A = this chain, B = another copy of it.
Amino acid sequence: MAPDPANDRITTWIGSSTSDTITVAGRDLPGELMGTVTLTDLAYLLVTRREPTAGQRRLLDAVLVSLADHGLTPSALAARLTYTGAPEAIQGAVAAGLLGAGSVLLGPAGDTAVFLADALPDDHADEALRGAAAEAVEGRRRQRLRVPGLGHPVHRVEDPRTPRLYALAQEEGVLGPHLRLLRFVADAQADASGRRLPINGAGAAGAALVDIGIPPMSVRGVVLIARTAGLVAHLTEEAETPMGMTLWHEAERRAEPPAYG
């Protein structure tokens, strides 16, 4: 197949090096970035190609902190069980933990981001957002799909991260149209179904990330930065007080073989 020469270029904005320089995001790494910016700043810069404002930085850190860890989730357990078999390759255990960030767990932040970005009208006035929310909710219901960003199996009345994220966004002056639209979506869903579901922390996080300038398609990835921090903590703990072998033996002990065919 003859590749299109116009598409046959390899370009990158992210980084390059020579024998005595390292450039990241167009900045001299040792001179302009190390000691000057945080990892959160650099992540924002690399993904958006802009430096965050003080408010964007604080909200991004709040979102990342809110998603870093949720205890012994399937993701953390998969990482720990992988460590049990291959403790010498910790990158594999972290990778295993990240692989569970999909449509059911952790992925909903990105799904909400894409859903809201698709639904957002040009006019950001309350009335326009309310109408767009009703339409988007109706569309999901027609396709018999869940509305992303709503409901939580544990936090059935209110997810404690949600009001905190909204308050921080307000305080920093970055409460934008996606966070606002998400509230109207929750209202529309309650009207349509007769049962109010809380805005969950993942949904609020996804909306907040788009409001501070993260591309909707990148939200799912940005969430993984936070989760890697949580997984590294789990593996540090697993090395000291392991639970992998116990989980294994208990599963085997409890397993009931069905009648064999």
What residues on B are CB-neighbors of A110 within 8 Å?
90
Whether, in the assembled complex, A129 has its beta carbon less than 8 Å from a beta carbon of chain B, the answer is no
Give the CA-CA distance A107 to B85 in the complex, in Å: 8
Q: Mark A1-37, 1 if CB is under 8 A from B, else 0.
A: 1010001111111111111111011100111011101
Whether, in the assembled complex, A193 has its beta carbon less than 8 Å from a beta carbon of chain B, the answer is no
What residues on B are CB-neighbors of A231 within 8 Å?
221
Number of copies: 4
Give the CA-CA distance A245 to B77 in the complex, in Å: 11
Inter-subunit contact B69/A15 (CB<8 Å): yes
What are 19 contact pairs spanning A and B, CB under 8 A? A8-B246, A10-B256, A11-B256, A11-B257, A13-B258, A24-B68, A29-B160, A34-B161, A39-B68, A42-B64, A77-B77, A83-B100, A85-B106, A89-B89, A91-B100, A92-B99, A92-B102, A221-B236, A225-B225
Taking Cβ atoms with an 8 Å cutoff, the residues of A that contact B are 1, 3, 7-22, 24-26, 29-31, 33-35, 37-40, 42-43, 46-47, 49-50, 58, 61-62, 64-66, 68-79, 81-96, 98-107, 110, 153-158, 160-161, 163-165, 168, 171, 215, 217-218, 220-222, 224-226, 228-237, 239, 241, 243-252, 254-258, 260-261
